[in-house]
Amino acid sequence: MPQPKVLILRAPGTNCDAETSFAFQTAGGKPDVLHLNRLLESPRLAADYQILCLPGGFSYGDDVAAGRIFANQIRHHLNDVMQEFRVAGKLILGICNGFQILIKSGLLDADDSEGPSASLAWNDSHCFIDRWVHLQAVEGNCVFLAGIQRLILPIAHAEGKFVARDETVLDQLEDAGQLVLRYTADDNPNGSLRNVAGMCDRSGRVFGLMPHPERFVDPTQHPQWTRLPEIAEGAGLRVFRNAVGYFS
């Protein structure tokens, strides 16, 4: 199959689209960065792509809540297009602000008859946190984490604490295999319940995570790269390779 085409959807305040485009290109994909307004004007543009990515940043300044305005645009104007994208067996990735958008738009199966059952809230510190974290992937059907057990990636967020309505919801999400990426027990930076750093939908083809894999594509992006054992590529690149490889 030819290179899978990747639609990277940006909005005012998005600031990780260039890095994400580079990561997908390095992984063998063919990325295009498109403003959300272009898709709102011509929703059928999405049909030309195999992978959709919502990158990190502060869409619309996070003025209402992190990712809320972007998520409402999807929920009220692009929901049919997004559901068709999913049903067609394509992939959707949300990174940091993109994860906030995915979970608030309902694309991560976090909604039920009572409304959203899970969300991302303010960090326990009530501060913006920018540092590296240790992560552990949970074995399951998440396409993006195939073959990955552990990761070290940077985070940069103020509203990254994964919360759920109650323990029953958490049990349901866990039993469904959706809580697929965790901070290690001694490295939870924001107080996320059950150390959740990333979540997928039931199909494993829609995935959102708070850490930034696009910021660790090249080994030299790690702050200790001169002192660590030599590696061929940054750990985050595997996430993008898995997405591109899914269509090969």
What residue ranges define each of the domains in the chain, with the CATH number in brackets?
5-245 (3.40.50.880)
Tokens of 102: 């995915």
pLDDT reported for residue 230: 87
| Type of residue numbered 155 | I
Q: What percent of the chain has pLDDT over 90?
A: 89
pLDDT reported for residue 1: 57
CA nearest 52: which of 9, 97, 18, 19? Answer: 9
How far is Cα 99 from Cα 204, in angstroms, rounded to an integer?
Answer: 14
Catalytic residue among 96, 157, 159, 200: 96
The pLDDT mean for the chain works out to 95
Q: What is the pLDDT of residues 34-65, one digit of tens each?
A: 999 999 999 999 999 999 999 999 999 988 88
| Type of residue numbered 114 | E
- Indicate if 200 belongs to the active site: no
Catalytic residue among 53, 157, 200, 214: 214
Banded model confidence at residue 112, pLDDT cuts 50, 70, 90: confident
Catalytic residue among 157, 200, 212, 222: 212
How far is Cα 157 from Cα 57, in angstroms, rounded to an integer?
Answer: 9
Classify burial at 119, counting beta carbons within 10 Å of its beta carbon; exposed 0-12, middle 13-18, buried 19 or more. Answer: middle
Provide the residue count of the chain: 248
Q: What is the pLDDT of residues 119-156, one digit of tens each?
A: 999 999 999 999 999 999 998 899 999 999 999 999 99
How far is Cα 70 from Cα 172, in angstroms, rounded to an integer?
Answer: 27
- Indicate if 214 belongs to the active site: yes
- Indicate if 212 belongs to the active site: yes
Q: What percent of the chain has pLDDT over 70?
A: 99
| Type of residue numbered 207 | F
